[in-house]
Amino acid sequence: MASIKEEEVKLIGNLPSMASRKVEIALQLKGIKYEFLEEHDLKHNKSPELLKYNPVHKKVPVLIHSGRPIAESLVILEYIDETWTQEPALLPSDPYERASARFWSKFIDDKCYPAVRKYLTLGSETEVESARAEAQEGLQFLENELKGKKYFGGETIGMVDVVAVGVAFWQQTLEEIMQMEPANSCQDFPLLCAWADELLGCSVISDNLPSKDKFSSLIQSRLQFAAAASAASK
Amino acid sequence: MAPQGEVKVLGAWPSPFVMRPRIALNLKSVEYEFVEENPGNKSELLLKSNPVYKKIPVLIHGDKPVCESLVIVQYIDEVWKDSTSILPSDPYDRAMARFWAAYVDDKMFPTMREIVAANEDEAKAAAVALFKEGLSLLEEALVKMSKGKKFFGGDEIGYMDIAFGCYISWFKVTEIVSNVKLFDESATPHLVAWIHSFSSHPAVKDVMPETDKLMEFAKNVVFPRIRAAAAAK
């Protein structure tokens, strides 16, 4: 009888969603075969599968393993690590280090991403400045956490690195493409810069991230939208 | 070999989040020192132990601080692993416990605050309706996860019981102060029974704040703060 690990894995996701990317990266790092079910229009036309498998939040990503759905990216990542125990381990084995990894993963999801998102979409100069300061404060904590380490996971990529891919991506893309003064410049955050280079140098990671052109046009359209909204409200 | 190092919990009696590690330690029969913090005047130890959020609860084991209540509960479960388990052993069941624990923090507690903050009947009714929708999902989750037993964790209190049960006193106080009925035996019979079972559990009853004491604190300190924050938006 086949073990549960060998049973069918599907992932309902969406290409622009960073949360979907993180789960795909984790599955690929572990060498797990899965079928990707793409949601094309999350705003106006969610698929019946999505509504069936994530009735509570109706959001991506949703992992379906032998017919059973799991939602919420951090929950999914831990499920993946506990079900497929081959290398690389996403979480370390020591309880204190595991607690630390869970803490930083939640911090990145709850504080860093929203702060950087705010910085990218706000209108007025003062709002952008305050969002930038908030983002930088978060990034400083991450910079401190990287001292003496190649990755947040130590010598190998771990859960925190996977959760933080967006931070690495923004690190490289904002400065290069946007000629935007990023929240996380290499001068201010040299360890984060080196980490981003290492992480994005791994094909499993970079293969799953949007192309810089695509990302650039997405950001441009968001900034234009924010500028128009801000002008309209004056 | 028993894990080395003494255990301290930095917290405050009204906080639902502080209840979580205390219940977990009680379940594992681990002795600890409870250090009552004054949120208006945070101790050096707290600021040093939780520089990121500067919030309670913090567990200090030996000299190592662990922050964020649900992270602490999992740490306790993993360190004192020879005792009763808090998280189930099956990965799917663990995922369900984690999913619903995140749900109550992300949805139920904020909706409770909306009920408190509402200064018009319509807004209050809408928030109450939203809360009850959440309760009916949790009722279903309880039936599924308990497999016919008393708790989300089955025969014994588990992760989801701790995550959700810590809010019980606050829900009671909200019902009284906002003059609403949130829990209804006809709509959510299992949850109503669960509230009694959880509240009277030996690992819980000494750390759950008394409703009267909490009500004074809520009326005088917390609820005005919630309303002021809502008005400022």
DSSP 3-state of A83? helix
Residues 136-165 of A with CB under 8 A from B: 141
Mean pLDDT lowest among A72-81, A114-123, B38-47: A114-123
More confident residue, A41 or B200: B200
Cis peptide before A61 (omega within 30 of 0): yes
Mean pLDDT lowest among A84-88, A213-217, B122-126: A213-217
Whether the CB-CB separation of B116 and B178 falls below 8 Å is answered with yes
Task: State residue B1's pLDDT score.
Answer: 42
Structure tokens at B186: 């006809």
User: Which of B51, B79, B91 faces A95 most closely, judged by CB atoms?
Assistant: B79
Average pLDDT, chain B: 95
B88-125 residue pLDDT tens = 999 999 999 999 999 999 999 999 999 999 989 999 99
Q: Average pLDDT in the A195-202 region?
A: 93
* Confidence tier at A1 by pLDDT (50, 70, 90): very low
Q: Average pLDDT in the A40-65 region?
A: 95
Residue A124 clears pLDDT 90, i.e. is over it: no
Q: Is B78 on the interface with A (CB under 8 A)?
A: yes
The CA distance from A113 to B30, in Å, is 37
Residue B126 clears pLDDT 90, i.e. is over it: yes
Flag if A79 and B92 touch (Cβ within 8 Å). Answer: yes
Q: Average pLDDT in the A129-146 region?
A: 89
pTM of the model: 0.94
Interface test with B, best of A7, A103, A139, A145 (most B CBs within 10 A): A103
B141-178 residue pLDDT tens = 999 999 999 999 999 999 999 999 999 999 999 999 99
Task: State residue A172's pLDDT score.
Answer: 74
Residues in contact with B5: Cβ distance below 8 Å, sequence separation at least 6, in sequence order: B61, B62, B63, B64
Task: State residue A167's pLDDT score.
Answer: 87
Residue B69 clears pLDDT 80, i.e. is over it: yes
User: Do the strands B7-11 and B33-36 form a parallel or antiparallel pair, or are they unpaired?
Assistant: parallel
Q: How many residues does chain A have?
A: 234
Task: State residue A226's pLDDT score.
Answer: 64
